[in-house]
A and B are shown apart, each in its own frame.
Chain A
Amino acid sequence: MLDCGLDMTSTLNFLPLPLVQSPRLSKLPGWVLKDGNTFLDKTELLDLSTVDVILISNYHCMMALPYITEYTGFTGTVYATEPTVQIGRLLMEELVNFIERVPKAQSASLWKNKEVQRLLPAPLKDAVEVSTWRRCYTMPEVNSALSKIQLVGYSQKIELFGAVQVTPLSSGYALGSSNWIIQSHYEKVSYVSGSSLLTTHPQAMDQASLKNSDVLILTGLTQIPTANPDGMVGEFCSNLAMTVRNGGNVLVPCYPSGVIYDLLECLYQYIDSAGLSNVPFYFISPVANSSLEFSQIFAEWLCHNKQTKVYLPEPPFPHAELIQTNKLKHYPSIHGDFSNDFKQPCVVFTGHPSLRFGDVVHFMELWGKSSLNTVIFTEPDFSYLEALAPYQPLAMKCVYCPIDTRLNFIQVSKLLKEVQPLHVVCPEQYTQPPPTQSHRTDLMIDCQPPAMSYRRAEVLTLPFKRRYEKIEIMPELADSLVPLEIKPGISLATVSAVLHTKDNKHVLQPPPKPAQPPASKKRKRVSDDAPECKPLKPLLSGSIPMDQFVQTLEKHGFSDVKVEDTAKGHIVLLQEAETLIQIEEDSTHIICDNDETLRVKLRDLVLKFLQKF
């Protein structure tokens, strides 16, 4: 199984979970504060207990892991890199913390009944498969799920049941993010998911190893192909500076890891020039501290520039300096120290980007009424308009600067030119322009041969056939072979051996020695059970030239020889002897009337024309 991301857009159907009682939200009519948790939207297409291996490409693509490992009878192994696991844990921990710290007094599930759901207001009534929506997992489930992960490093080769070898490669998108190569001896499939060619903090993408793929499965492209990350960062900085200069606060709903590192680095360079040195930056998340510290210790997973800093030695990310100089402060939540230190105007980075839970809900409630403040959306996962819906009417300014560093279509076409896979397989959405911009034919994958596309719950056969298997020969068996050169450069040898197959590995072992003559009756019975080894007959090759064969027959006294051509070969008719020799490409039959001597004679004549070995 490749990745197990969690589609959290269903949370947008729910009201936010406020940290403090919100009179406004609680007074809203109708379906209030019920069952507002995180949900899994999955399909029953396959029995997940039969999955042997899950390959994780980045920490955003493992958020559904506890649902699979803890609820489906999954017994396999999960492979992921260390930063993926560590940061993935942080993301899950934050999610669980956000949900658990505001426990529900009551929960409702009756509405999921189709009859009831039908009566609900839109968009809830249009939501699909609500019955599969689940409560958020718990910390013990997270821990149990993570314990099933086996850590791997870039370029490490992992044997899967002897059938294939998988290798993670750097994908350049996030700390520890990987593309995977799945290969057998004769086939190579690359799984490219969430990759970036931009120079940000993670190690650069390894493109060279993707070459010579039979199939390249391409997914996780940028969600906002029209937004260039550089432009968006500029936009982010401008809006931030403008707001703060006018005395307003800036709220940045974000995940606790990823783009935030780049934003902090960018601000580090920008704040002095923009005259923002005295404006405090707050990073509020239950995992803020761990995230900032983890980022500094994964040196080997960072881009070259940052790696070299470690040897100076300097912290790879400049946020260390921001923290040292008190420009950036981090807190686990708005309670406690934060309330003492809080100064305005300020910039707050906090989660969750869906605006449905986490400390961000509080800041939306607090700052939403003033037009001086601005909320800047940088995460591309959610529609910002839908995210803002429960907070309307809103006076604060809203700016949408989605920063998605994953591949855009121009980069994809460059990548495909470079890597040249035989076939590309991708989701259907990538093979046509976005529905809202149908004239933008530049916003789709353009490659030759055209990409094979798949849609949700569709079963697709990958366009290659497994034709060969590799078999090993034991040395002693190889020793006994006598190759015969049948064409210059091509030698053949017959092998008689026992094929031993275990864990998808095939080994030819020497055949068991012929049974010893029976020493006693008892022994004989034993040897009867053993497979009987008949003496080996030689293998034949070559073709029979008909003219010469007829001549030979005549020389040996067969007169009245007739040859008939058939679709598959020839029939030689010996009328006098009432015998038929049927010669075909891969078989010869001698049909005679119970005359064994004649058959043997004829057989020997046929064998004269064939090579034996």
Chain B
Amino acid sequence: MWREPWGGRLSSPPVPGAKARTAGLRGACGSAKKTRCIMDRECSQLLPSVCAVLADSRQLVADDTFLEKFLDWFKTLTETESSLLLLQENPCLTELITCVLKLKDPSSSTLSFILRLTGIFAASESCFQYLQQRELLISLFGEVGPLSSALWEEASVRSGWVQGVHSMVQHQSALHFLCSCGAIEVIFTLQGDPSLFVASAANQLLVHMLTFSLQSFQTKPENIKDCDWPICAQKLIVHIEESLKSNSASRIKQSLKLLTSVFGCCHDLWTEVLWSRLSEPIVYLLEEEPVHAGHSLVDLFLSMARSPVFSCPECSLWTSVTCALEHLNPAQVGRLAVGVLKLQECPQAVKIQALSVLLQPMDCVLKAASQPLEYPGLLNRSVNDSATVETLLSCRSSCASLLCQTLTHLEELQYLTCLPVDLPHIPLLQSVVTILQFCIGLATPASCLGNKISRILIGCFRVQRSALDILGALSHWESPSVFIGSVFDILLAYLKSPDTSPTVLKKSFQATLKWLVSLSEAPSSKDHWQQTEQFLQDLFLVLQKRLCSPYWEVRDSALEFLTLLVKHLREKEGFRQVLFSSEVPKLTEDLLEDPESYVRASAVTAMGQLSFLTHLISKKPGVENGNVKEKSIVAQLKEILSTDSEGFPRRAVISVFIDWLREGHPDVLKDTEQFVSSVLQAVNSDLDWEVKAGGLELAEVFSAQLLGRLGLAACPYAAVLSSATRSTHLSESLQIFCQVKLFEFLFGALCDCDRPVAQKACDILIALKAELCDESSLKEGTSAGLSTEARGIAWLEETLRRWSSCAKPCPRGDADEAGSQDPNGVLLVLRTVDLEGLHRSLNRSSDHIEKSPQSLLQDILATVGTLEENEADCY
């Protein structure tokens, strides 16, 4: 979680009033954006010395993040200002480039920096000409430059060169320059660079060059023929074509990657022409045995399939995709299949084939475990050679990964809003259950393959997790009772087994929850209820045991599961009966004292949910002491909030309280003010910023509820109150806010050293101010002679200080004492403090001063200075 001590730069804890003033002053400053984009005078003055430092090979800049920031700054500058003007006004920049070029032995980082900086300037055509005239570009990017020096061995220099060229290619002149100086060949070589960063950047550069050169190529679509294309584009295409036809696996992969990016980022019509030219060698790659660049081909087809250019069903792409689905290794092709199934525009036949590819391993598993006659299987016909899938499944190294992939892909399909093809969900469910049975030795193998799968899968957690995920996802289909029974059986087996690992157990809980929720929401839920109730009884026995597990992860998962279960099923009478006839509620309460803080937190959340139900149960005759018990739970939670040494349980308590307040928990409703007051008091002294933020949310909900109840909320449909009634209600609500010490709490939080807390407090105060300090109250306040001017700033500071000391918890401090707070005083304070100004300054990040370019330049100089000092010390 991101935290920022926004007040950290102030030397002493600020007095609220003082802070308000400071904030006001800060707010008067001009916009930060403006300072960043135009080089101001200070920067122009500092720049020559910085350039001198950078050009001096003896003065190494130790921290090269400066250089990155420097480049970022120039990038922003060139976007808003004329680059040429920038160079002309700051001749030191051109000098820097010249100087570094003249250096005999420049450092690789400096050289790389210069390459990138020059590229940024050369992006503007005028500036490009300017640099060209001074022969700087040819010296940097031509054959005589760093290319031929020993420093070219450094990956950072090559990377700088590629990035410089990339920045530069924004106009035709740059393209001509690159074509004429032989740079394109260099880029081709860099595609296979040993440094992955350089290779990837080179590939991206080629993509950019191709799309850029063709983007500006103005011809009517029907006349697009590749023979008319610009020379640069033609060079590139010839290179791609040659690579595809070469026997080098790495070259083929580079070209496929390049094409993937091209088709991914550019959806112009010329891409279709490009495909028609390259489809032949690509299809040829598919027909090779074995296919080498499978993954890259999948990426390419997916990228093309998503392009609107190829969406037409007659497009030759689909023939290639069909071919790929048939020829590629089942372990590689899954991604393509699922990608195809997600497409909206795709021929139905291809989709059906893609689904078959995904279902094939599942079909094999199903057949390996049962008699072939008994189940027809998942597929009417086999798409691929099932022998390949069987070989992969019978091998220890590939079986688990193939199944995991397949299961994950099939799970993805379950979440699609509309599945384009009919999914045989019942056989799929059967095969998932079979896999889960195999994994714990419950499935009976029916073939040699079954025996092998069984040996491989027993105890395989990866497959268990994936299978449980999809099992959960399959719950949204309507299934006949017999299959629901088998799902319940396998889930219980996993939940019961002492060998189930904590992560698998968690997945089992998730899948169980999904099935129970789906079954309870299904239109036919009544038909299955008896079956479900029986399952719930078994489930609670298991849950009981899991809540007593010696492993905290297990106790924690069990509690989380219980919370969600209660949340979703609490309306079901049958569920409540099973729940309360078990030991689970009592065990959950015991876990409020668990030694592990995560478990305590989960127990708190679970009790928060359970307490809604205990209340319902307690209303019934025959359940005794319901109220007493309930009270004790509130008291227990409050005690955890004020005494627990760990943050998690306290955060959990505050979020439970927020829920209770929102949902109108009966115990809260009994005396809401007292409840809120005591909670805010406990939160006020908490050091955890998340607890405080929770407290603020509670305050926000409370104030909104109160204002809404009195008809004061800004609701467009609410009846308009007469001004007299409104005024009465306002003073009533103000009175209540004062009683619960809301303002002490909010102003206390406003001064909190955690920025999110202060921000939230500020937001709430602004909202309250809008509601409470309207014209009438203002008049009232003035008429009472309580103007700010009369009291002065000293009064304001004193008041806030008094409040903050008042807000601290006192042993018996209750609503009575809050009476000492004067509602009118509150109104005055609200009006006086510049909340809007504070809001602005709080929204600014604490390092906004340090982010300025001036500071950056000073830092560079300072670092060099320090280095010099150190050097002196050494001698």
Contact = CB atoms under 8 A, between A and B. Distances in A.
Interface of A: 226-228, 231-235, 237-239, 241-242, 245-246, 266, 269-270, 272-275, 401, 437, 439-442
B583 A442 contact: no
A441 B454 contact: yes
Interface stretch (B90-98, B298-306, B544-552): B544-552
A442 B454 contact: yes
Given A231-B497, A273-B596, A441 B548 contact: no
A238 B595 contact: no
8 contacts: A231-B498, A231-B499, A237-B549, A238-B549, A242-B548, A266-B550, A273-B595, A275-B590
Can you list the 7 inter-chain pairs with the closest CB atoms, starting with the nearest? Answer: A231-B498, A241-B548, A235-B498, A237-B550, A238-B548, A231-B499, A439-B444
Contacts of B445: 439, 441
A234 B595 contact: no
Contact of B451 (A227, A231, A233, A441): A441
A254 B583 CA distance: 29
Interface in B230-287: none
Nearest to A231: B498
B458 A442 contact: yes
Contacts of A233: 550
A412 to B, nearest CB: 14
Contact of B550 (A238, A401, A439, A441): A238
A4 to B, nearest CB: 34
Nearest to A232: B498
B441 interface: yes
Nearest to B496: A235
Nearest to A240: B548
B593 A270 contact: no
Given A231-B498, A274-B548, 18 more contacts: A231-B500, A232-B498, A234-B549, A234-B550, A234-B551, A234-B554, A235-B545, A237-B549, A237-B550, A238-B550, A239-B545, A245-B548, A245-B583, A245-B590, A273-B595, A275-B590, A440-B458, A442-B458
Interface in B492-516: 497-500
A11 B583 CA distance: 38
A228 B499 contact: yes
B598 to A, nearest CB: 12
B75 interface: no
Interface in B572-597: 583, 586-587, 590, 593-596
Contacts of B546: 238
A376 to B, nearest CB: 12
A119 B545 CA distance: 46
Contacts of A439: 441, 443-445, 454
A242 B583 CA distance: 9
Interface residues of B, number: 29
Contacts of A234: 498, 549-551, 554
Which of A233, A235, A266, A437 has the largest count of B CB atoms less than 10 A from its CB?
Answer: A235
Contact of A275 (B443, B545, B552, B593): B593
B455 interface: yes
A121 B596 CA distance: 55
Nearest to B595: A273
A228 B550 contact: no
B865 to A, nearest CB: 54
Interface string B525-564: 0000000000000000000111011111010000000000
Interface in B438-496: 441, 443-445, 451, 454-455, 458
Contacts of B443: 439
B369 to A, nearest CB: 10
Given A228-B499, A440-B441, A238 B587 contact: no
A273 B587 contact: no
Nearest to B444: A439
B498 A273 contact: no
Nearest to A446: B455
Contacts of A238: 545-546, 548-550
Contacts of B554: 234
Contact of A226 (B441, B454, B551): B441
A239 B458 CA distance: 26
A270 B498 contact: no
Contacts of A246: 583
Contacts of B499: 228, 231
B441 A245 contact: no
Given A238-B550, A275-B590, A442 B545 contact: no
A421 to B, nearest CB: 22
A242 B454 contact: no
Contacts of B583: 242, 245-246
Given A228-B498, A241-B548, A274-B550, A441 B455 contact: yes
Given A238-B546, A266-B550, A274-B550, A442 B441 contact: yes
B545 A242 contact: yes
A273 B544 contact: no
Interface string B330-364: 00000000000000000000000000000000000
Contacts of B551: 234
Contacts of A441: 445, 451, 454-455
B596 to A, nearest CB: 7
Which of B443, B455, B550, B554 has the largest count of A CB atoms less than 10 A from its CB?
Answer: B550
A272 B552 CA distance: 13
A437 B440 CA distance: 12
Contacts of B498: 227-228, 231-232, 234-235, 401
A373 to B, nearest CB: 15
Contacts of B444: 439
Nearest to A237: B550
A401 B550 CA distance: 15
Contacts of A442: 441, 454-455, 458
A245 B587 contact: yes
Contacts of A275: 590, 593
A411 to B, nearest CB: 12
Contacts of A270: 550
Contact of A273 (B441, B454, B500, B594): B594
B860 to A, nearest CB: 55
Contacts of A273: 550, 552, 594-596
Nearest to B549: A238
A238 B549 CA distance: 5
A95 to B, nearest CB: 31
B441 A437 contact: yes
Contacts of B549: 234, 237-238
B545 A272 contact: no
B290 to A, nearest CB: 29
A427 to B, nearest CB: 22
Nearest to B551: A234
Contacts of A241: 548
A442 B438 CA distance: 12
A237 B545 CA distance: 9
A439 B455 CA distance: 10
A440 B552 CA distance: 32
Interface in B839-865: none
B441 A272 contact: no
Contacts of B500: 231
Contacts of B458: 440, 442
A235 B554 CA distance: 12
A305 B256 CA distance: 56
A439 B548 CA distance: 33
B871 to A, nearest CB: 50
A231 B498 CA distance: 4
A360 B443 CA distance: 39
A238 B544 CA distance: 9
Contacts of A232: 498
Nearest to B500: A231
A183 to B, nearest CB: 35
Contacts of B594: 273
B271 to A, nearest CB: 53
Nearest to B458: A442
B726 to A, nearest CB: 55
